[in-house]
Amino acid sequence: MAALGEVGIKTEVAPNLGVKVIQLVTASDVVTADTLTVDLSDYGCTNIHAIQGFVETTAGEVVAAEAPSTTVSAGVLTITVGGDAVTDVRTYLIHAY
């Protein structure tokens, strides 16, 4: 388990719909139990409604759903990577407000 901090590429997908969708795409070296952080205040948010997680089991070809664990403290979302202990790209869709 590694605390990777605020890593990956974050993109605000739907900025004007009341709930913002932030897409976080990690590097390919992320494994189960690693922790990632997202400063929600960067997007004008303090909490999340939902998160969807996906893992690329074959780069750019096979994508499977994966359930992360989350906590929010002082507007910072911490994501603990779930799933199998494989080293792959993860994508998270974060529904924040």
- The pTM score is 0.81
Q: How far is CA 20 from the centre of its chain?
A: 14
In this prediction, residue 11 has a pLDDT band, given cuts at 50, 70 and 90, of low
- Would the pLDDT of 9 be above 80? no
pLDDT at 47: 94
Percent of the chain with pLDDT over 90: 53
- Asked if the 3-96 domain carries CATH number 2.60.40, the reply is yes
Domain boundaries, the chain: 3-96
Q: Cα dist. 9→1, 18, 26 in Å?
A: 20, 22, 7
